[in-house]
A and B are shown apart, each in its own frame.
Chain A
Amino acid sequence: MEIVRSQRSRTNTPNDSVSTLPLYRYAPQLEVRLEDFEVFAMDRLRVLKGISDALARGKRPEEMENLVRDLWKANMRHPEASEDVNKDIISHFVLRLVYCRTEDLRKWFLSMETALYRYRFLLGSSEAKRALMEEFDLPCKAISRTEFENAKEKLEQVARSFDQPLPTADAIFYKVPFEEVPELVAGRRVYIHKGHAYVAMHQVVSLVVTQFRSNLSKALILTNRKWTSTIREQERDRLTPIVEALSMSYLGPDYSQTKEFGEISIKDLDQLARSSFPLCMRHLFDKLREDHHLKHGGRMQLGLFLKGVGLRMEDALAFWKAEFSQKVGAERFDKEYAYSIRHNYGKEGKRTDYTPYSCQKIISSTPGVGDHHGCPYRHFSEENLRAALGRMGVGSRAMEDVVDKVRNRHYQLACTLTFEAVHSSSCDAGINHPNQYFSDSHKILQPKVEIVI
């Protein structure tokens, strides 16, 4: 890709139909105007951000498909229709530069581009799907009539389990090694036999998406290398500032560095838990006080949250020790648990300074027997949730709104409403990180104290 200043861009890619999904295998041989470089990237970023927000709100696949179509239409159309494809490809490659530079950025970009690809694939026609599958070089074989007959009963069982229409006599199924379709396996959405998954035509997207994801993941690492070794320096005056600005604008603070309100001490914790902790952390905190123990998932979720809130490592060690030694004894605490607290603060092992979990991460975790982590809006029964919210001071009318959001699987909105009810003030940005809940709460509650003085 050559970046030029204010010149008509020439293209030598064929004039494909607008619905063609590119493979993004190679940076295109195009000249791109500098302004377009930034504008195209921002337009695509709006699409990716829209997807990110929608996923965080737990939108269903059908809703996502419509959303992607609308977002794409609204942002990615070029005044010259034939240029649509180029804008698509150019913007993707520009964003690769922007998002290749750290592990977190890569992870986010990979997730969003994969989701975008998935829904665009689903929106395509059957011929488009089949053509794309051939491009992708996938290890799948259509099954024969006999194989179909032998597996028919099981295939019907799978279809019924998801309220899908039963496979007809001429239905096409692909036999694929199960390793190629991890998401389908995980959701028990396919019949598996002797290591092969029987994938229906409408599920083929999973294969494509897995491959897309894998290709992009590798490409990002390569791009990062090229960026660090040559491009960043070469483009110091031209592209690099644009690239760095683009990445800042869309990912919020990760709360790994505590800033505004300084450090908090152990004696403040009980009061802060009551006034400013989101429900997930309050539940963990209460359970810790009650049982003098938490399982690993809970220790991670609460421990990292407290770190983000400003609890120093020495205080954290003292706090956890005071609780755990009531159950397992001080010696066992030192032997078995102190290490991982230090690990969380980046003082052991490979010394990564772990970042507190965002709502997205917490919502997608899977608490099991004896666990108290995860998102209570997702995992609590309605009865238990109402009781917990009541203890937080949520009034009956707000409670109904919250429960309604939960029923529709909008867990973060439920938490936002809880925040608003408890603090009697609105939270326009919406909650997407427990530490954000805490810092917003702190901001509201703190000034009152100062005014009194």
Chain B
Amino acid sequence: MLIDGPKQGNVIPDGFNPNYLKVYYGRLFPHADIFKWMSYGNDGRHPACDKSYFGRREFSFTLDNDIYLRFQSFNSESELENSIKEKCPSKIDIGPVYSVDPAKRHAYAQGGDNVFAPVERELIFDIDITDYDDVRYCCSGADVCLECWPLMTVAIKVIDTALRDDFGFDHILWVYSGRRGVHCWVCDGKARRLTNEQRGAIADYFRVYKGNENSNKKVSFPGPLHPFLVRSYTEVLREFFEEKLLLSQNLFSTEERYEKILSMIPDESVTSELRGKWQENRRSSNSKEDINFFRWEQLKNTLQSGKQKVQGLRRCVEEIVFAFTYPRLDMEVSKHRNHLLKAPFCVHPKTGRVCIPIDPKDCEEFDPTTVPTLSELLRELNTGDSRMDVDNEWEKTSLGKSIRFFRSSFLQPLLKSCKEEMESGYKAKIQQTKNSLSW
């Protein structure tokens, strides 16, 4: 697919196209890295390696005509790579590591000892911006823009910090889902071995937003906040709400919008006082200060003025901030070990964008509107310097940055830790055998 030069106009029109996918899987998709990741160090080089490990992992492919192939498994990197290149799936999902090769599952009973069941699975999270539709006014549904995307950034910061500081996890990968959200893969050994109950507990630890359109108050803090919530509020949420979201979403600018916030205050005297002020204010313009800041300050002053004998108002300010900004996770995704999740570096069929990793330390800089698309990458391949001597073609494209990041920030530290774990586990076993032999 070579053409004369960049000026001629790269004849790769935008959009998603199965032929493009073929090129993508043929030349850009990082098969080897995915294989190394999913092997978790079981590459056969160490005596403690489990050679069956990779083969017990479930993959699933969604083919072009919406045919869904579950329980795909592979015994080597080349099997994985060849199958992907041959089938050209529009989506690749990763499932758990089972007790036996998924291809042999029918030979195993449902109950008793000899079961076909998940034994390891990363702790995963899925955050989708459509779950925030009731608090963003700029977009709705599948659309995302730079005004509402920061909600995802904030979610990453809150959850990432908690996973590291509270739960002690280290090997965390955040990935752009390709259109309107983010996925999180926690890959520590401890995380992979968590039971469904433990995953549910972590998901519930993160759960704050309760309820739907039928209940008024979706966030309710009956008592002082847990240290995790305090930290999230003081380090991330309050600043984000007051300095960014108020403005970017114009939360107080119209009656409909400020009524939504007033409905979160369970005290008639307070809400009518504020409503009174704001209905008047509409006529006079506060040109110096933005109306959203101004009204928010008024609200805070009224609530915190100390007149409050009503218990339910003590933490109303925090409740409002959390209702708008606190991460909304899909509980079911995290709770069950057999839940499938899209693999990183897939291409989203509706947007053509690649699911690239996001650096949690730098997540404010991530811009979903500039994520490389399939067609852009193919153009880059074509116009890339053919004299460049590279091991991998992706180095010639904007995908290079993402893959390098994936390797240095995530894969290498993870594999190093896997080896260490394997080594120490092996040493301990040898010691045990020695001990048991002693008189």
Decide: A225 near B112, CB < 8 A? Known: A179-B194, A182-B197: yes
In the complex, whether B283 has a CB less than 8 A from a CB of chain A is no
Query: In the complex, what residue of chain A is closest to B231 when comparing beta carbons?
Result: A154
Residue contact A381 to B212, C-beta cutoff 8 Å = no
Question: A141 → chain B, closest Cβ, in Å?
Answer: 16
Residue contact B167 to A188, C-beta cutoff 8 Å = no
Residue contact B200 to A188, C-beta cutoff 8 Å = no
| Selected interface stretch from A68-76, A230-238, A317-325, A372-380 | A372-380
Chain B hits for A157, CB < 8 A: 224-227, 230
Chain A hits for B212, CB < 8 A: 367-372, 379
Query: In the complex, what residue of chain B is closest to A196 when comparing beta carbons?
Result: B168
Contact of B167 among A158, A161, A178, A221 (CB under 8 A): A178
In the complex, whether B205 has a CB less than 8 A from a CB of chain A is yes
In the complex, whether A396 has a CB less than 8 A from a CB of chain B is no
- Complexed CA–CA distance, A182 and B197 (Å): 7
Contact of B226 among A158, A225, A381 (CB under 8 A): A158
Contact of B198 among A160, A182, A194 (CB under 8 A): A182
Q: Which of A160-196 contact B (CB under 8 A)?
A: 160-163, 178-179, 182-183, 185-188, 191-196
In the complex, whether B228 has a CB less than 8 A from a CB of chain A is yes
Residue contact B194 to A379, C-beta cutoff 8 Å = no
Chain B hits for A370, CB < 8 A: 131, 212-213
Contact of B214 among A188, A193, A225, A376 (CB under 8 A): A376
Residue contact B224 to A161, C-beta cutoff 8 Å = yes
Chain B interface bracket (under 10, 10 to 19, 20 to 34, 35 or more): 35 or more
- Complexed CA–CA distance, A380 and B201 (Å): 25
Chain A hits for B205, CB < 8 A: 185-186, 188, 192
Chain B hits for A194, CB < 8 A: 165-168
In the complex, whether B216 has a CB less than 8 A from a CB of chain A is yes
Residue contact B223 to A367, C-beta cutoff 8 Å = no
Contact of A380 among B166, B215, B229 (CB under 8 A): B215
- Complexed CA–CA distance, A369 and B200 (Å): 18
Residue contact A368 to B214, C-beta cutoff 8 Å = no
Map CB proximity to B onto A29-54 as digits: 1 under 8 Å, 0 otherwise. 00000000000000000000000000
Chain A hits for B330, CB < 8 A: 368
- Complexed CA–CA distance, A335 and B217 (Å): 37
Q: Which of A158, A186, A380 has the largest count of B CB atoms less than 10 A from its CB?
A: A186
- Complexed CA–CA distance, A441 and B334 (Å): 39
Chain A hits for B37, CB < 8 A: none
Decide: A188 near B131, CB < 8 A? Known: A368-B212, A369-B212, A381-B216: no
In the complex, whether B204 has a CB less than 8 A from a CB of chain A is yes
In the complex, whether B119 has a CB less than 8 A from a CB of chain A is no
In the complex, whether B210 has a CB less than 8 A from a CB of chain A is yes
Map CB proximity to A onto B224-251 as digits: 1 under 8 Å, 0 otherwise. 1111111000000000000000000000
Contact of A193 among B165, B194, B215 (CB under 8 A): B165
Query: In the complex, what residue of chain A is closest to B228 when comparing beta carbons?
Result: A188
Closest 5 CB pairs of A and B: A195-B168, A182-B201, A186-B204, A194-B168, A186-B201
Q: A225-B112, A368-B330, A370-B213 are in contact. List 18 more A-B contacts (CB 8 A).
A: A154-B227, A157-B225, A186-B200, A186-B202, A186-B204, A186-B205, A187-B204, A192-B228, A195-B167, A195-B190, A196-B168, A296-B332, A367-B211, A367-B212, A369-B134, A379-B211, A379-B214, A384-B214
What are 18 residue pairs bridging A and B, where the CB atoms are less than 8 Å apart in the complex?
A154-B227, A160-B224, A183-B201, A188-B228, A192-B166, A192-B228, A194-B166, A195-B190, A366-B207, A366-B210, A368-B209, A368-B211, A368-B328, A372-B212, A379-B211, A380-B214, A381-B217, A384-B214
